Amino acid sequence: MVMKYTKDYLVRQYNWPPENATMYTGTPSRRIFDPENGNQVLFIINCFCDSIGLMSSNAGEKLEELISTQLPPDMKSELAVFNWLKGVYLYQS
């Protein structure tokens, strides 16, 4: 079982809008991605970690850093961010 990256591990400050608890479940979709929404950032980090079997908080920290510092402005959907992370994270690892 892959460890879940939680709010406690996040380094940056995020907005925490009151969302439906089931809103960020399943797999990344074409839903608009907001890099300031902590719930959505956690969702993407955890989906990515699950998809490649990562099990460390270090991996989550690296993913959070990539999202906060290198995410291109044209990455508008969760799916686009997820696919971008695949290329960037796997290339840098």
Cα–Cα distance, 2 to 72 (Å, whole number): 28
| Residue 44 falls in which region: left (phi positive, over 0), alpha (psi -120 to 50) or beta | alpha
pLDDT at 20 (0 to 100): 75
Determine the Cα angle at 32 with ends 34 and 87, to 5°. 80
Tens of pLDDT along the chain (93 residues)?
A: 456 899 999 999 999 988 776 788 899 999 999 999 999 999 999 999 999 888 788 899 999 999 999 999 999 999 999 999 999 987 775
